[in-house]
């Protein structure tokens, strides 16, 4: 099995560093971005298998960027990775195209499990 190609989108540098380090054993982290504009450009250029997306980006909501990526790159799976715990936000995230919703407040194994599950799904 090939390692999934992952693009990280979060405006908090400490989180990006920690998640990239965590994923580096099982994934190929192809890039990191801190805002939605860079995410849209990088998704087009890098063609990742998965995007790990924080909802709170400075220039566009994670929900809107998720919707756009789902429309333009339907093969790319999106994992919303956020500290937001509102069930309505979870539901809206999945409705606009996210494949998974993982809380930053939970164990890091939840993110790894979501990546592994989505990497084997067609």
pLDDT tens digit sequence for 67-96 = 999 999 999 999 999 999 999 999 999 999
Give the three-class secondary structure for 66.
helix
The reported pLDDT for the residue numbered 121 is 73
The answer to whether residue 1 scores a pLDDT higher than 80 is: no
* Average per-residue pLDDT for the chain: 95
Which position has the token pair 């715990």? 85
Structure tokens at 65: 């960027």
What is the gyration radius of the CA atoms in the chain, in angstroms?
13
**DSSP assignment, residue 12?**
-
The answer to whether residue 122 scores a pLDDT higher than 70 is: no
The answer to whether residue 39 scores a pLDDT higher than 80 is: yes
Structure tokens at 8: 């990280």
Q: Does domain 5-120 have CATH number 3.40.50.2300?
A: yes
The reported pLDDT for the residue numbered 40 is 97
The answer to whether residue 120 scores a pLDDT higher than 90 is: no
pTM for this predicted structure: 0.95
């Amino acid at each position: 099995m090939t390692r999934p190609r992952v693009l990280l989108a979060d405006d908090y540098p400490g989180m990006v560093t920690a998640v990239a380090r965590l994923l580096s054993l099982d994934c190929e982290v192809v890039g990191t971005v801190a805002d939605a504009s860079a995410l849209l450009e990088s998704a087009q250029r890098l063609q990742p298998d998965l995007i790990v997306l924080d909802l709170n980006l400075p220039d566009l909501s994670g929900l809107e960027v998720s919707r756009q990526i789902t429309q333009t790159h339907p093969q790319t799976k999106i994992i919303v990775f956020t500290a937001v715990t509102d069930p309505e936000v979870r539901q809206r995230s999945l409705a606009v195209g996210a494949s998974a919703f993982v809380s930053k407040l939970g164990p890091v194994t939840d993110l790894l499990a979501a990546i592994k599950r989505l990497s084997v799904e067609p």
